[in-house]
Amino acid sequence: MLVLTRKVGERILIGDDIVITVLDSRGDGVRIGIDAPRGVKIQREEVVRAVAEANVAAAAGADDDAEARLRAALGAPRPPAAD
């Protein structure tokens, strides 16, 4: 990991077409601006993680419901509850 110190108004260049600009610094927060081509995804890590966790939870719930519906449709008995 490259660690840099920048002042407000200073920029970081990534490759030939991505520019990070420090816009403001207050307390423990920093506002940055990112100029990048439209095809480059820019996402906050915590949002990506939350969406992934929600997708996993939804898929697990959907699998449980689908299994129960299939068992009911086939007239199969439910598996015994785990103790």
Q: Report the pLDDT value the prediction gives residue 59, as an integer from 0 to 100.
A: 75
Confidence at residue 63, expressed as pLDDT on a 0 to 100 scale: 58
Tokens read off for 20: 């990070």
What parts of the chain have a pLDDT lower than 50? Answer: none
Position 62 scores a pLDDT of 60
Please report the pLDDT score of residue 77 as a whole number: 66
Residue 19, CA atoms < 13 Å, CB-side half-sphere: 7
Under 8 Å between Cβ of 20 and 32: yes
Gap between the Cα atoms of 82 and 53, Å rounded:
25
Please give the pLDDT value at position 72. Answer: 76
